Structure 1
Amino acid sequence: MNNIPSYDYIIGGAGLAGLTLAWQMLDSGLLDNRKLLIIDRDKKNTNDRTWCFWAKPDNWLKALPISKSWKDARVQGSDFDLKQSLEPYEYFKIEGIDYYNFILNKLSRSTQITVIQDFIVDEDAKNKMVKTQAGQYQFTEYFFKSYFIADELSGIKDPNKHFIWQHFLGWKIKTKLACFDPETITYMDMRVPEVKSGLSFGYVLPEKPSEALVEYTLFSAELWKKEDYESSLRYYIEKTLNITDYEIEEEEFNKIPMTNTVFEQRNKSIIPIGTLAGTVKPSTGYSFVRNYQHIQLIVDSLKNNTQCFESANSKRFRFYDEVLMNVLVTEKSSGHAVFGKLYKGNTLAALLKFLNEESSLWEDLKIMNTVPKWAFIKAVVEEFSRFLRGNNNKAN
């Protein structure tokens, strides 16, 4: 045991959650007299993803490597085309490679932090050990676990919760002509064929009049073959957006679990972070702000020695998320019908406030009054019954 490298903390996975936690631990002074090891199988030297989120332009955003922000957004459907201000919010974009470089450069200046490229094969909570393909490491305080195998997540069944994927293919394209308004994102374009048991839409983040990230996105339980996403995205660009002369510069292909399930409950020494801790909002698939909030809670807990590491998500909004997923999964109403009514009956700013879990109960009720009523009433009854069954099972 004496020959095994030992650290105070180990972070498994250098993605959004792992890197943000390391950065905040460093900046807070937690690592002044402690050692941290970060393990990830990738070098983090490619632009493999884009993080987007909306927020009020507060001070915490100033430190982030934001590549662009927008104050206006468009939503479209077969019978509407609405462009609105997002005020008091803005929509922000961070390139994956920029975030990796931003944080890894900070971490490289600290002698208390070690980053290695390796693949974790096992962790031992009792003996506080992490085993990789190349060796093993000991931690004296906590192991923060963010890594997971995406294909295994759908196999985790919780009878009291729904599970769907947000899955998408995006291309950063460059066009010959000026095809985009660089000051306005297309948040959701439902002028695409509908899918059963879910939602399909286009999404456009314009950088310049001739450059944009264009995505074809699905909320559904079933994943597709790569070529099906490609044909749907190409159809959206060429037939819906009427862009035929373009070059593909980058690609983003990903899947994000949308569920209220916390995939791995923490024990005394292994703490789930990121998706494993439930920081992805089930009804949207967005995680950046929720992840940042959870990391702040962890850092505050470490500083105050309170051992309070659970993500503090609202029970009220978790119930709303379950109801929406019920409607989509059970086909009580089509995704296009639900979101079309939401956009036509509410301002985008009001919806973003609701999705940020900042709205009052009265504001929630006003938004709920705009969705297909019978579909949601049935879903509310089913989810409330499911909630009662879950509580009875815990009591027994």
Structure 2
Amino acid sequence: MTPGDAAASDVVVVGGGAAGLSLAHRLTGAGTATVTVIEPPDGPLRPAERTWCYWEAGTDGLEGVVSASWATLRVHGADGRPVTVEPAPFTYRMVRSTDFEHRVHDRLARSGGGRVLRATVETVRAVRGGAEVRCKLPGGWSLTLRARRVFDSRPLPTPPPARTHLLQHFRGWFVHTDTERFDPTVADLMDFRVPQPAHGLAFGYVLPLTPDRALVEYTEFSRSALTTEAYESALGHYCQEILHLGALTVEQTEQGAIPMTDARFPRRAGTSVFRIGTAGGATRPATGYTFAAVQRQSRAIAAAQQAGQGTVPAPHGRRALAMDAVLLRALDTGRVDGPEFFTNLFRRVPAERLLRFLDGTTSLREEWGIGRSTPAWPMLATAAELPFLSRRRRPAANPGESHR
């Protein structure tokens, strides 16, 4: 192939993050399409290594890249009382982006019809018989690729209009302590003992890897992100004043911001151009969880591709999105106390059912029961208010990739 020539693939995947890699993984596993994945070249556009976490029951094809897992989960209420649950058959799993990238790149190389292209995408558009991607190679040469379908995972330049715009923003330290301070069998999903902001909520997040190593994060749900200095201060306070970790070394950091909004994300950007990942609405609005929805959607797209169908299913059902819109608004207005709300869910709802609820796979009857564990009047008042609120845009926020 020479620069400027049009190269053909069945599928072009734009972006090598969680959504792009997951779709390439499922498509090459099905073996029914030639796949080109376009990733940014080395430089400022290429993201640093990050972690993706999710819960799953049984095998899901990612066992080779799961670097740690936990069968026991814990939530600390703002009052300091812990809630410890074992949500069998689910386990909480961590995937490091570098491990996943190596696995998918190797699968593409061995597939015979797959490849990875390092380039900067300039335009994506539908053309007769498919779609066209114009990109620039690291040497400055231009290249055009054509495909029957293009799946674009790049963040949108601005979020769609919404009634509620919040961010889940976080910074994490991979720490090594001088003594054994962690129980590697228990993951702390939410620790509300941290000081709470004036607006929104905050929590700590601890994933122990060994007795003396863990990923420790400080997370907020609020309208705007913090400065790096503010995250560092919050993490230092959490590690020393709440976890009492003592002397430690920060070996690696990660930081990001995830949109939590009731915006409607269109999944189609042209006749043969589709959006996936956060840009396609895969992020669960009220929790920020993305990775599990990306896996479900990727499997469904691969099955549709194998059947000769050009469809992209919705990452979340309408009922789940409607409930999330109510909760987001209730949190944003302060009608609902966030730490109390989430802690009570873990205290009152069976853990396995709650995780299915957070993934959007519960029945209407189960959801009715879960709803009885939430503050009724604030939620009802918010639900009654929503139809009368207009959807508005907010400025772009430099989003990161969800670690969940």
TM, length-normalised to structure 1? 0.89
- The 1:186/1:281 distance shift into structure 2, 3 A limit, reads same
What 5-or-longer segments of structure 1 have no aligned partner? 390-396
Q: How far off is 1:65 after superposition?
A: 1.0
SS at match of 1:192: coil
1:117 equivalenced with 2:104 (yes/no): no
* Cα distance in 1, alignment partners of residues 176 and 190 from structure 2: 21
* Cα distance in 2, alignment partners of residues 265 and 16 from structure 1: 17
Report the count of equivalent residues: 380
Listed one character per residue, the Cα deviations across residues 103-160 of structure 1 (whole Å, up to 9, x for unaligned) are: 11111223422312121122232363222233131313111100126xx434x323xx
Q: Give the structure 1 partner of residue 274 of structure 2.
A: 271
Q: Which moved more, 1:78-87 or 1:282-291?
A: 78-87
Q: Which moved more, 1:319-328 or 1:338-347?
A: 338-347
Q: How far off is 1:219 after superposition?
A: 1.3
SS at match of 2:49: coil
11, 15, 18: which one aligns with 2:13: 11
Matched-pair contact (CA < 8 Å) for 1:72–1:84:
yes
Matched-pair contact (CA < 8 Å) for 1:173–1:214:
yes
Q: Give the structure 1 partner of residue 155 of structure 2.
A: 148
Matched-pair contact (CA < 8 Å) for 2:182–2:214:
yes
Listed one character per residue, the Cα deviations across residues 73-124 of structure 1 (whole Å, up to 9, x for unaligned) are: 1110232212221222111111111111111111122342231212112223
- The 1:194/1:2 distance shift into structure 2, 3 A limit, reads closer
* Cα distance in 1, alignment partners of residues 178 and 307 from structure 2: 56
SS at match of 1:284: coil
User: How does 1:1-396 map onto structure 2 within 5 Å?
Assistant: 4-8=5-9, 9-31=11-33, 34=34, 36-42=35-41, 48-57=49-58, 59-61=59-61, 63-79=63-79, 80-126=81-127, 128-134=131-137, 135-148=142-155, 152-154=157-159, 156-158=160-162, 161-266=163-268, 267-385=270-388
Q: How far off is 1:233 after superposition?
A: 1.0
Matched-pair contact (CA < 8 Å) for 1:262–1:276:
no
Q: Which moved more, 1:86-95 or 1:333-342?
A: 333-342
SS at match of 2:155: coil
Matched-pair contact (CA < 8 Å) for 1:197–1:334:
no
- The 1:297/1:183 distance shift into structure 2, 3 A limit, reads same
* Cα distance in 2, alignment partners of residues 301 and 16 from structure 1: 20
Matched-pair contact (CA < 8 Å) for 2:105–2:115:
no
Matched-pair contact (CA < 8 Å) for 2:165–2:261:
yes
Q: How far off is 1:50 after superposition?
A: 0.6
Q: How far off is 1:5 after superposition?
A: 2.5
* Cα distance in 2, alignment partners of residues 269 and 359 from structure 1: 32
AA matched with 1:65: V
* Cα distance in 1, alignment partners of residues 136 and 336 from structure 2: 48
Listed one character per residue, the Cα deviations across residues 48-77 of structure 1 (whole Å, up to 9, x for unaligned) are: 1111111212x3246441111111111102
SS at match of 2:231: helix
AA matched with 1:177: T
Matched-pair contact (CA < 8 Å) for 1:129–1:136:
no
Matched-pair contact (CA < 8 Å) for 2:293–2:315:
no
Matched-pair contact (CA < 8 Å) for 1:153–1:257:
no
Q: Which moved more, 1:108-117 or 1:209-218?
A: 108-117
SS at match of 2:60: helix
- The 1:196/1:349 distance shift into structure 2, 3 A limit, reads farther
SS at match of 2:127: coil
Q: How far off is 1:232 after superposition?
A: 0.6
What 5-or-longer segments of structure 2 have no aligned partner? 392-404
AA matched with 1:112: G
* Cα distance in 1, alignment partners of residues 82 and 62 from structure 2: 33
* Cα distance in 2, alignment partners of residues 69 and 285 from structure 1: 20
Q: Give the structure 1 partner of residue 402 of structure 2.
A: none
- The 1:370/1:140 distance shift into structure 2, 3 A limit, reads closer
SS at match of 2:26: helix
Q: How far off is 1:251 after superposition?
A: 0.7
SS at match of 1:177: coil
SS at match of 2:66: coil
Q: How far off is 1:377 after superposition?
A: 1.3
Q: Which has the higher contact order (CA 8 A, sep 6+)?
A: 2
Q: Give the structure 2 partner of residue 392 of structure 1.
A: none
- The 1:292/1:16 distance shift into structure 2, 3 A limit, reads same
Q: Give the structure 1 partner of residue 394 of structure 2.
A: none
Q: How far off is 1:297 after superposition?
A: 1.6
Q: How far off is 1:344 after superposition?
A: 3.0
* Cα distance in 2, alignment partners of residues 40 and 372 from structure 1: 45
Matched-pair contact (CA < 8 Å) for 1:277–1:310:
no
Listed one character per residue, the Cα deviations across residues 339-396 of structure 1 (whole Å, up to 9, x for unaligned) are: 2332332333332121122222232222222222221111111235559x9xxxxxxx
* Cα distance in 2, alignment partners of residues 143 and 46 from structure 1: 22
SS at match of 1:109: helix
* Cα distance in 2, alignment partners of residues 242 and 225 from structure 1: 24
SS at match of 1:60: coil
SS at match of 2:232: helix
* Cα distance in 1, alignment partners of residues 265 and 361 from structure 2: 25
AA matched with 1:70: W
